[in-house]
Each structure stands twice: as C-alpha cells, then as structure tokens.
Chains A and B, each alone.
Chain A
C-alpha cells in the first residue's frame, strides 16, 4: 500500500515546465532518495508535495486522506535553507510550530522536549537559535518537521549545506529516522543517496528518468567499466592493458585508468593477472560501478 501516490504532476514557471507530468508512488516505511543534478526540479516537486506551492495539473493522493483534505497535517517538511526566527530559543520555536500543528499546550511542550532529545540538541534548547551552528539548525529543522508525527517526512537537500561533521551527524540521524517513518529526501550527491536510502527516484530536467531500489538501478545500468588507480604515475601501462583481449577502450586521467571491457568478469580476471605479474602498485580497483554522472549519461542517452 503506497503512502503517497503522485500522478501526472505538472508545474510550470512562466509557461516553461519545471516538473513535467511525473508519476510515482512511495511505499510505507521506505526511505527514498530523490536524486538529480541541480535544476532537475527536485525542490519544486517536494514543495508541491508539502503543500507550499500548487501544481498546474496532476494528482497527489495521500493514504487515508480525502482529496480535499489538508495534506500538510500528514507531512513534515524541511526546506533546503530553513530560516528560523533567530530571536527565539530552540525550545520556544518547537513549541510554537507544535501549536501551529494544533497540538495542545502540554503535548506541545512534551513533544518539543522529546524531539530536542531525539535530535540531540536538548543541551541548547534554551539558547537563541541565532547562536546555533549549521548542523544544529539542520537538526532543529528535522525536529520541527517531525513535531506533529507526520506519516511522511520530506527533507530537501538535508546535508548539502553542511560541513563534513554536520553532514555525518545528520546522515546518522536520518539512518535512525528511516526506521520510524517514511522518508523522502532530495540530494544531488550519489554517495548520500547510497548511504541512507533503499529506493531511488532519478530526476532529470523535470522528468523521472529512473526509479527502483538502489541495487536494481545499479544492476540495470551497470557499465562494463573497470577503474584502476595506482599509487604513483606510470608509463607504458596503457599499451599493455590495451593489448588484453577483453579490453575495448581506455581512458587515462593522471594516475587513474578507466577501462571499458567486453565483459566485467573476464576483464577483471585478465587485468588482475596482468597487474600481479607486472607487480604494478595498484591502489584502487573498482568494477562496474557507475558514478552519478555515468548513471545520468546512460539514463539520459537511452
């Protein structure tokens, strides 16, 4: 049973479609990454789902809700750049949004405390938000999105603006949250998607170009490519590699070589044997793994 079904969702800005009749379903309890380069229409899609902007067509159906009902009561949303009232304390802000979601005073205070604890900023709850770090603000943002126990949590680029430490904190938190609720988040970084999500929605120029589980997508768009990395520079490696029967083509970039082979299994064996025989200083050996760029190139070209 999908928790949310989107059919033919359309959004135009100045007559130009930014989201182009997309359809997809999210299953309950999954963690889905909406992946795509900047400008693909991810934010616009998420803002339509969370009720901040209206669509120019199509339907959003939420499980158990009438068509006319206010979808916002079931959705928690964290914008890409959340802006708080810096003069409020973290606790004040959470109690405020809790009451906006129509929780009574006591429940609001209780939930605020629980979530501050949950996202790990309860030490700072009586400090002004203006004094929070980026990671703390993002965690407060996640807390405000969860305050009314929404069935679907939508996070727009939750980690892209953070430094490595903040990023790690938030990714770990998301890892935990996905056990509690259905989670949809957007990102333009494949690694982040890989780390947390079970499912992928690939967006490109307003279209959903690919979807499915991470493994499925990977398998489907597997490229017959083997990436080699060496500890130091090299000379003459390319000629010897090119001479292998399974090698079709290769590309050299500093001390890395990308090899296109007819078959990854045969290619791997041949390459490893050659490298071992020659005693080359191998540093990295990656088989058939497409980067986001590869994936996009492939998907878009097809």
Chain B
C-alpha cells in the first residue's frame, strides 16, 4: 500500500509541477459554459451579424434547462474525451519510451501497483475537472434557463464520470501496449469512437453499453427518475473498467521493458 501511495503521490506532484491541475479543470470549465452562454446569446448574435431579410421572423425557442446541460455533456463527450486522451497518452508509454520507467521497475514494486496508481491519479484529475466543469455549466444553466435540481446534477456527475473513467482505462491499456504516446492517444480516441459506433449499430442489443450513459442521463434529467437500463449500464461499465485494468496489468507484465 505504501508503494501504491508513493506512485500516486508522485503523479499528483507531477500534475502540480506541469500545471495539469490548472489547465485540465480550466478546459472543462470552458467546455461546460460554452453552450449555456452561446445558446443564450444566440438570438442576439444572429441579429447583430445581420443579413436577415426584414420580414424573416427568426424565432429560436429557448431550450429547457435539461437540454442545455446535455449540450455540455456532449461537449465533454467530444472535446472532453479528446483532452483526456491527449493528456493521458504519455502516462506510461512516455516513461517507457524515455527510459524513466526503468528506474521505477528495478525497485521491488508490483506491476499492478504501478498501473493502478497511475490510473487512479489520472482518474482523480479527470473527476475533479468534470466536477468543476459541470458545476460551472449548472450555474449558468440555472441562471439563464431555469432550475435543475442539485440532486439531478449529482446523478449526472456520478454516472457521466463512469464514461470518462472508461476512456482513461482504454488509454491505460494502450499505454501498456505501445511505447509511442501519439499512437496511444490516436488509438484511444479511435476506440472510444468505435464504442459509440458499435453501440449505435447494435442499438437493440447493446442496451448496457457505456456509450448509452449520456442518453440515460438525459432521461434522468427530463423525467426525474433513474431508468433501469442505467443500472445495468453502470454495472457493465464498471466491469469493463476492471477488465481493461486487469488486461493492462497483464500486458504490462508480459511486455518487456526492453
């Protein structure tokens, strides 16, 4: 346990020194507030840009607050995932490429310790970034569009964070398979997109795919009740994360540092 905390703390220290603790949450805040603000000001923006014929009545209905929060989530599912993939792509692969991992792995430390501590550190960073980002989005949505209950926000956070943990886990697995950070980042994004595509194609059987998390959260926000499928999806996503991590430890152990 001491070794696990050591790796975890070192990772945290690194996030301070390379400012990840600042820029990752800031990106999540900006992604979170973009949609509430731009949607709110959309009529004015269109008007001021002008060019519309005088008689064109341009009536943009104000979306309900739940839709606005969902827009922020879809930002996280696109650009947020991109940021997570890019910031985690060198987590292990970079250390193996440079050789810095050698000095760690000659010490009597378990491979599982190294892999899971790294996963946990990145997940904490991602989770905290998501929390501040969603809080910002929620604040502006409440202010400009109408109230969303804090409880609903918590549920959104709880279930949506699973999706990002899933992305981190994919990244970790690829990190243990390849030594080139760029390749890891690219494949992570590819696999996440693939998850969504496969889920879309086999929509009727993949009720519990992690890619469904957003649509169930939408139901939570609009209907105020947790659909049964969401629990199934939660279990499947947690199992997938555990599976990905187990596979990561296995590949890391099997793969030589050479």
Contacts and interface: CB of A to CB of B under 8 A. Distances in A.
Judged by CB atoms under 8 Å, the answer to whether A and B touch is yes
Interface of A: 13, 47, 50-54, 70, 72-73, 75-77, 79, 81-85, 87-88, 92, 96-97, 99-102, 104, 141, 144-145, 148
A70 B105 CA distance: 12
A70 B102 contact: no
Nearest to B102: A79
A52 B245 CA distance: 21
Nearest to A76: B106
A62 B109 CA distance: 18
Contact of A52 (B2, B10, B13, B106): B106
Interface residue tally on B, bucketed by range: 20 to 34
B204 interface: no
Nearest to B18: A87
A82 B102 CA distance: 8
A83 B13 CA distance: 18
Nearest to A148: B107
Interface string B91-135: 000000011101111111100000000000000000000000000
B103 A144 contact: yes
B257 interface: yes
B114 to A, nearest CB: 9
A102 B2 contact: yes
- Please classify the interface of chain B as helix (H, G, I), strand (E, B), loop, or mixed, using the class held by over half of its residues: helix
B184 interface: no
A73 B103 contact: no
Contacts of B13: 88, 92
13 contacts: A47-B257, A47-B258, A52-B256, A53-B256, A53-B258, A54-B256, A83-B102, A84-B100, A85-B14, A87-B14, A87-B17, A102-B2, A102-B3
Contacts of A73: 108
Nearest to B110: A70
A79 B108 contact: no
Nearest to B7: A100
B258 A101 contact: no
A240 to B, nearest CB: 57
A50 B106 contact: yes
Give the residue among B2, B103, B104 with the most A Cβ atoms within 10 A.
B103
Given A79-B99, A79-B102, A85-B100, A104 B2 contact: yes
B148 to A, nearest CB: 41
B17 A75 contact: no
Nearest to A72: B108
Given A54-B256, A83-B98, A99 B106 contact: no
A83 B257 CA distance: 14
